[in-house]
């Protein structure tokens, strides 16, 4: 896994491979704090002992079967208030990578990647803030590649979907290329283009569906994402705004 041939300027040009570690996000965060660390450094492992997910959940992944890695970015011009722009970047990088292998890929707000309603990839972005700007961002990605048995029926992998085995190094190289391309768009200030591509491929966008918030189930339609990254759902004729932990999808 340390021989990744990404056609990039910086993402994936420095690969730190570990057969096993507690969490690649933790290792990458420690590296990012060291002087002279390189932007675009990728920390990748075959097995995480303490893989972390969103909302304080853990992240389970079959040893040696999938991609579990973290990328160090230094988007120092990005204001902390605009942190959601990094969700556009990371989600689109995975989305565009997977589109080369399978159809029907969707981005589920804020940044899960689904195929046929099943989760194939989770993303955990952890930022360190200094003077209201993002000093560094650790983009942690868990992509199910060759795993064929899942303990959760809403999970899937490339192999589960196609019956084929994949070379993880090749997919990681494409992911690095896509991540760099989307990140460079952000650095050029092309946020509107990123957001429009994100919405175009958003799961249940502008479709009536069931959600749950504050202990109540309701029918609504996703109308967009606001400047803070909150999900906008039209419900009984009015648009409501939901933070990450305030709303769940019922499907
Ligand atoms: C989610 O809950 O959907 C996010 C899962 C993120 C998992 C990845 S695997 C690599 C990186 N290291 C971690 O500890 N978590 C992320």
Predicted confidence (pLDDT) per residue in 181-226, tens digit:
999 999 999 999 999 999 999 999 999 999 999 999 999 999 999 9
Beta strand residue intervals within the chain, DSSP E: 15-18, 42-45, 67-73, 105-108, 112-115, 118-130, 133-143, 208-213, 216-225, 231-235, 238-242, 247-250
User: What percentage of the chain carries pLDDT values higher than 90?
Assistant: 96
What is each CA distance from 85 to 15, 166, 195, 222, 237, in whole angstroms?
25, 30, 8, 18, 28
- Beta pairing partners, 12: none
Q: Is a pLDDT exceeding 80 seen at residue 3? A: no
Q: Is a pLDDT exceeding 90 seen at residue 41? A: yes
* Token pair of 171 as six digits: 């997919």
Ligand 1 binding site (Cβ under 6 Å of any ligand atom): 23-25, 48, 51-54, 57, 59, 68-70, 112, 122-124, 140-142
Angle between helices 168-187 and 84-99 (to 10 degrees): 140
pLDDT digits (tens, 9 = 90+) for 112-124: 999 999 999 999 9
pTM, rounded to two decimals: 0.97
Q: Is a pLDDT exceeding 80 seen at residue 2? A: no
| Residues 6+ away with beta carbon under 8 Å from 121 | 94, 98, 112, 113, 141, 142, 143, 144
Helix ranges, the chain (H): 24-33, 84-99, 158-162, 168-187, 191-200
8-state DSSP, 225: E
Whole-number average pLDDT of the chain = 96
* 193 phi/psi in degrees, rounded to 5: -70, -40
- How far does the chain reach from its first CA to its final CA, in angstroms? 36
d(CA 119, CA 94): 12
pLDDT digits (tens, 9 = 90+) for 69-103: 999 999 999 999 999 999 999 999 999 999 999 99
Mean pLDDT of 12-32: 98
Q: Is a pLDDT exceeding 90 seen at residue 165? A: yes
**Whose CA is closest to atom 9 on ligand 1?**
142
Pocket test for ligand 1, best of 16, 17, 24, 59 (most atoms within 8 A of CB): 59
pLDDT of residue 146: 98
Task: Calculate how far, in angstroms, residue 235's C-alpha sits from the geometric centre of ligand 1.
Answer: 32
Residue 146's CB: how many other CB atoms inside 10 A?
A: 18
pLDDT of residue 178: 98
Mean pLDDT of 151-160: 95
């Amino acid at each position: 896994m340390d021989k990744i041939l990404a056609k990039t300027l910086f993402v994936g040009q420095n690969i730190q491979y570990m057969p096993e570690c507690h969490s690649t996000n933790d290792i990458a965060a420690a590296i990012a704090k060291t002087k002279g660390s390189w932007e675009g450094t990728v920390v990748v492992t075959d097995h995480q002992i303490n893989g972390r997910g969103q909302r304080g959940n853990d992240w389970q992944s079959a040893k040696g079967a999938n991609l579990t890695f973290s990328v160090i970015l230094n988007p120092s011009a990005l204001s902390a208030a605009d942190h959601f722009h990094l969700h556009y970047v990371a989600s689109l990088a995975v989305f565009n990578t997977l589109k080369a292998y399978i159809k029907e890929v969707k981005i589920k707000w804020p940044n899960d990647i689904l195929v046929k309603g099943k989760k194939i990839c989770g993303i955990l972005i952890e930022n360190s803030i200094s003077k209201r700007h993002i000093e560094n961002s650790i983009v942690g990605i868990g992509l199910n590649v060759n795993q064929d048995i899942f303990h959760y029926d809403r999970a899937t992998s490339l192999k589960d979907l196609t019956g084929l085995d994949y070379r993880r190094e090749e997919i990681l190289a494409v992911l690095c290329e896509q991540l760099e391309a989307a990140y460079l768009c952000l650095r050029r200030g092309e946020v509107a283009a990123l957001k429009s591509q994100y919405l175009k491929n958003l799961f249940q966008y502008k479709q009536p569906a069931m959600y749950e918030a504050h202990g109540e189930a309701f029918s609504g339609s996703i109308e967009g994402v606001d400047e803070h990254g909150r999900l906008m759902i039209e419900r009984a004729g009015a648009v409501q705004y939901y933070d990450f932990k305030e709303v769940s999808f019922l499907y």
